[in-house]
């Protein structure tokens, strides 16, 4: 077969294209760990592409709460067990709806200050939001041994009795006690509405 210059150029071009295609195919099938063996691990796709890894809403919430709590946690190194700092950190996680973490910090506060009604009430409420009505009520009961007419504790205990234990009578008793002991309670209108609703439900039952 006689080769002309044009034939040679065409053949060279075909070989070049085949070589490029073959190299791409081999590269695409190559294991990431083979190219990154020196690192002893494959690089995540997000990291390899330079894109930020995706985070869930819960992860973003916790990251924000962790960032907000970080300065307080750093201060704890200088004053370990400081009840005020522990309470503030617990409140940060409570507001972020990270109730298990909040309960942990509140627990540390109450070991030092068992009569802190506000913290114990918040801890009881956190248990309620986690679906544990019985433990919530236990904490409210303990808080009320220190301050029997605490309005927020009575309000929350009544709410949990009503919604968590189906104890309408218990809820009405707590809210009645709340209003009698705290006639200027800021949530009075809301309490009166709930009392009316519970009474209506009771009267509607056969």
Determine contact, residues 94/102, Cβ cutoff 8 Å: yes
Q: How much is the pLDDT for 199?
A: 93
Q: What is the 3-state secondary structure (H, E, C) of 112-137?
A: HCCCCHHHHHHHHHHHHHCCCHHHHH
| Segment 61-88, tens digit of pLDDT | 999 999 999 999 999 999 989 999 999 9
- How many other C-beta atoms lie within 10 A of the C-beta of residue 31? 9
- The band of 22, judged by pLDDT with boundaries at 50, 70 and 90, is very low
Q: Report residue 4: phi and psi, to 5°.
A: -95, 170
Nearest CA among 166, 162, 164, 84 for reference residue 127: 164
Query: What is the per-residue pLDDT for 114?
Result: 97
Q: What does the pLDDT read at residue 206?
A: 67
Tens digits of residue pLDDT in 100-117: 999 999 999 999 999 999
Assess whether pLDDT exceeds 50 at residue 98.
yes
Residue 33: the pLDDT is 30
**pTM as predicted:** 0.71
HSE, side-chain direction, 13 A CA sphere, residue 18? 6
């Amino acid at each position: 077969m006689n080769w002309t210059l044009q034939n040679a150029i065409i053949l060279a071009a075909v070989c070049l294209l085949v070589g490029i295609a073959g190299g791409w195919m081999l590269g695409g099938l190559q294991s990431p760990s083979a190219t990154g063996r020196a690192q002893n691990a494959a690089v995540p796709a997000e990291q390899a592409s330079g894109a930020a890894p995706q985070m869930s809403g819960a992860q973003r919430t916790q990251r924000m709460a962790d960032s907000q709590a970080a300065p307080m946690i750093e201060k704890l190194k200088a004053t370990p067990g400081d009840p005020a700092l522990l309470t503030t950190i617990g409140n940060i996680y409570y507001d972020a709806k990270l109730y298990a973490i909040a309960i942990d910090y509140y627990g540390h506060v109450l070991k030092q200050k068992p009569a802190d009604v506000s913290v114990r009430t918040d801890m009881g409420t956190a248990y309620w939001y986690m679906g544990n009505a019985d433990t919530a009520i236990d904490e409210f009961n303990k808080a009320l041994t220190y301050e029997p007419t605490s309005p927020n504790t009575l309000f929350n205990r009544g709410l949990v009795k009503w919604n968590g234990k189906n104890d309408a009578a218990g809820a009405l008793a707590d809210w009645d006690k709340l209003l009698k002991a705290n006639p200027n309670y800021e949530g009075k209108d809301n309490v009166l509405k709930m009392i009316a609703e519970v009474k209506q439900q009771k009267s509607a039952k056969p």
